[in-house]
């Protein structure tokens, strides 16, 4: 938590009472591999900041197959934001891929922090902008890049992730089959 607080302090003047409030709406957790934090179909009240480890959010289509939306590694946030902001049930499942440390926040309280402490407004807007940028990039990459190009970008974005994830997690993030992923890897080695 201290690490996150220090990061926030770099961006704004954090009053002691705001710091105290952050502590009051959060809880550090150690998660084991396979633990599920959010489950498709359930109400979502939490959002998670990753201190260490790796988590994955995915949806399950009507045939029962998983499609990975994102991996969250150190310093990333993860939750089902559709569920949080529209009060709908979760369309995503969030699971822990390796032993991980996270800070769990009450999402509504964290969202509303700027009404108590206005200094958070620009900080939150900045975070939101970064999130929108990353989502927009992900959509555009999916629309216009080849699978091999998307894989290259993926490796740049998540340099060490292959140690923590299964092939099918990566293939389902890139929207390709595992065979295609293997082919792309073989081609990369040849280059």
Binding residues vs other proteins (CB under 8 A): 36, 39-42, 58, 60, 63-66, 166-168, 171-172, 178-179
Q: How far apart are CA 158 and CA 66, in angstroms?
A: 20
**Burial label, 107 (beta-carbon count in 10 A; 0-12, 13-18, 19+):** buried
Least distance (Å) between residue 169 CB and other proteins: 8
Q: Do 97 and 165 touch, CB atoms closer than 8 A?
A: yes
Measured from the CB atom, is 40 or 124 closer to other proteins?
40
Measured from the CB atom, is 66 or 111 closer to other proteins?
66
Measured from the CB atom, is 142 or 167 closer to other proteins?
167
Q: How far apart are CA 183 and CA 92, in angstroms?
A: 29
Q: How far apart are CA 50 and CA 78, in angstroms?
A: 8
Measured from the CB atom, is 13 or 62 closer to other proteins?
62
Least distance (Å) between residue 64 CB and other proteins: 4
How far is residue 185 CA from its own chain's centroid?
25
Least distance (Å) between residue 90 CB and other proteins: 9
Least distance (Å) between residue 8 CB and other proteins: 34
């Amino acid at each position: 938590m201290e690490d996150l607080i220090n990061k926030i302090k770099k961006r704004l003047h954090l009053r002691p009472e705001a710091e105290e409030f952050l502590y009051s709406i959060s809880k550090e957790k150690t998660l084991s591999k396979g633990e599920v934090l959010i489950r498709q179909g359930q109400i979502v009240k939490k959002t998670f900041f990753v201190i260490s480890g790796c988590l994955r959010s995915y949806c399950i289509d009507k045939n029962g197959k998983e499609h990975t939306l994102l991996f969250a590694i150190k310093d990333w946030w993860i939750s089902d934001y559709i569920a949080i902001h529209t009060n709908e049930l979760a369309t995503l499942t969030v699971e822990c891929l390796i032993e991980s440390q996270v800070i769990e926040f009450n999402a509504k309280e964290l969202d509303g922090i700027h009404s108590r402490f206005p200094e958070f407004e620009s900080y939150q807007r900045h975070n939101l902008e970064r999130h929108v940028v990353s989502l927009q990039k992900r959509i555009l990459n999916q629309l216009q890049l080849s699978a091999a190009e998307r894989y290259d970008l993926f490796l740049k974005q998540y340099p060490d992730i292959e140690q923590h994830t299964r092939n099918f997690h990566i293939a389902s993030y890139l929207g390709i089959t595992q065979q295609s992923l293997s082919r792309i890897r073989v081609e990369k080695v040849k280059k």
